[in-house]
Structure 1
Amino acid sequence: MMRSGWSDYGTRFADEESVETYARLYGEGTYDEYVWSLERPTVVDLLRQERHQRGRLRLLDFACGTGRTLAAVDEVADEVTGVDISAEMARHAARSSPKADIKVGCVLSEELLSGPYDAVTIFRFFLNAPQKLRLPVLRKIREHMERDALLVFNNHGHCPSLRSLAVRVPKPRPQPPNELRHRDIVQLLSDSGFRIERRYGFSLFPPVLHRHLPAPVLRRADAAAASPRLRRIPQRVMSEQLYVARAVGEP
């Protein structure tokens, strides 16, 4: 059974054609794939360091979608679990990462998680999920994590950023754009038993500029802004925020 707020997602991606369309929209050559290419080395390095410190790594990729994150991390982790509410998404994820144990369903109403996990990755979930589900879901995941486990996740609609301006142009929308502020993330983590250790910024220029201006120039600028040497300067106005947090206290 699916909780209200996720049923539309399960319906939207209930068949292979819709998932293939999704994969093309965010696949090779797209703006989103480029941003992921900037993020991926940082994510993999964080997980590799965690495994080195622990001597092993049992990883959960929540809302795994078509398996993009799983494909990047399954060589780093010793055990990998992927969870998604869409069965068709999960089938794609299984092809992307044959090593992973893929589970389908809603974590709030089904016993899908085992753990305890040493690390959890969550991408493209918090911004898209209804607000009323974010805290319950993260608390449920926290229950299945080691006390000092690592959490790595993104906010791909950070406000304020150039994206904040772009989504309001050329005319006001009937509903507010989908955005999350840093303070919202801080509160969410605090309320669910996590402490932020670091955050990184990616994607200075929003997708609309990449579509209407010379993309190679903007991509070089984005890559430079995300480099370790410069990333602290524009981090707070980047559209994509990568968070690194640590589980604290008892689950």
Structure 2
Amino acid sequence: MMRSGWSNYETKFVDEERVERYNRQYDEGSYDDHVWRLERPVLLDVLRSERARRGCLRVLDFACGTGRILRGLEGVADELTGVDISAEMAKHAAEASPEALIRTGCVLTENLLAGPYDAVTVFRFLLNAPEEVRVPVLRKIRQHMEPGALLILNNHGHCPSLRSIAVRVPKSRPERPNELRHRDIIELLHASGFRVESRRGFSAFPPVLHRNLPAAALRRADAVACRPPLQRITGGLMVEQLYMARAVR
């Protein structure tokens, strides 16, 4: 679908108040901050290994938002580029990560992706994007990656997980939040020119439980469940899934 934006994202984040509200999701002590603290060390370890293997690491953070991932990658990547369709979000990303090159616009209609890149991160995009743009966007990204380059993306609404049950309970909810299954991700990546190498799961308990039960206890349990020995058992049932894939030669 060749249009300037998708869903309501481009028009949703057009003012400071909405962007600040988005940023507050990651305030210290929030659920999203908790998940990011579990996820970030794994992301950095993977990228450090990739840099050691290649000798240099040029990274694109697609749908960079206000720069959360970009900030986390400073000191790991030799070159950083962020792309986002929202000008207001991109402005915050440029302020948060002055070392990064920030580009704004729609990759399906504008020539925004330079590259080639050794690694690309894609966080909180697939679940939020309409189904019809997912493969075209991933294919566009693939065109600007080195053969065998690393793609790291997440699914923050994995099904099955406890989130799957939680989102079905409230009868007053006007519409059920998006979900993606493991097989959905595999099919999307395969259709876009990628081969999945591995995945990791994070957060056994959805936000609603963190709001209504002792959060400290849940977070300690999460930290244990995310460790490699238990990951083989618990990983596939976690709310958040992190995928490592390679651009097919």
* TM-score category, normalised to shorter length: over 0.9
Tell me by how many angstroms 1:228 deviates: 1.8
1:50-101 Cα offsets, whole Å, 9 max, x none, are 0110000010000000100000012101110000001110111112211000
The 5-angstrom pairing of residues 125-140 of structure 1 reads 125-140=125-140
Counterparts of 1:174 and 1:86, CA distance in 2? 26
Counterparts of 2:176 and 2:71, CA distance in 1? 34
- Which residue identity lines up with residue 208 of structure 1 in the other structure? V
1:104-163 Cα offsets, whole Å, 9 max, x none, are 000000000011100000000000000001000000000000010000010000000000
Contact 2:167 2:176 in 1 (8 A): no
Counterparts of 1:136 and 1:15, CA distance in 2? 28
Contact 1:5 1:129 in 2 (8 A): no
Q: Secondary structure at the match of 2:8?
A: helix
Contact 2:7 2:130 in 1 (8 A): no
The corresponding residue for 1:62 is 62
Contact 1:5 1:130 in 2 (8 A): no
Tell me by how many angstroms 1:5 deviates: 5.5
What TM-score do the two structures reach when normalised by structure 2? 0.96
Q: Secondary structure at the match of 1:222?
A: helix
Is 2:177 the partner of 1:150?
A: no
Aligned residues: 248
The corresponding residue for 2:85 is 85
CA RMSD of aligned residues (A): 1.3
- Which residue identity lines up with residue 155 of structure 1 in the other structure? N
Counterparts of 2:168 and 2:4, CA distance in 1? 28
Contact 1:168 1:177 in 2 (8 A): no
Runs of 4+ in 1 over 4 A off after TM superposition: none
Q: Percent identity?
A: 69
Q: Secondary structure at the match of 1:233?
A: helix
Tell me by how many angstroms 1:235 deviates: 0.7
Counterparts of 1:170 and 1:91, CA distance in 2? 37
Structure 1 pair 18/242, CA: closer, same or farther in 2 (3 Å)?
A: same
The corresponding residue for 2:166 is 166
What TM-score do the two structures reach when normalised by structure 1? 0.96
Counterparts of 1:32 and 1:150, CA distance in 2? 24
Contact 2:51 2:57 in 1 (8 A): yes
Q: Secondary structure at the match of 1:109?
A: coil
The 5-angstrom pairing of residues 7-156 of structure 1 reads 8-156=8-156
Counterparts of 1:91 and 1:31, CA distance in 2? 25
Q: Secondary structure at the match of 1:40?
A: helix
Tell me by how many angstroms 1:29 deviates: 1.7
Unaligned runs of 5+ in 1: none
Q: Secondary structure at the match of 1:153?
A: strand
Structure 1 pair 183/82, CA: closer, same or farther in 2 (3 Å)?
A: same
The corresponding residue for 2:195 is 195
Task: Name whichever of 228-237 and 150-159 sits farther off.
Answer: 228-237
Tell me by how many angstroms 1:21 deviates: 1.1
Task: Name whichever of 158-167 and 13-22 sits farther off.
Answer: 13-22
Counterparts of 2:6 and 2:196, CA distance in 1? 27
- Which residue identity lines up with residue 159 of structure 2 in the other structure? C
- Which residue identity lines up with residue 115 of structure 1 in the other structure? G
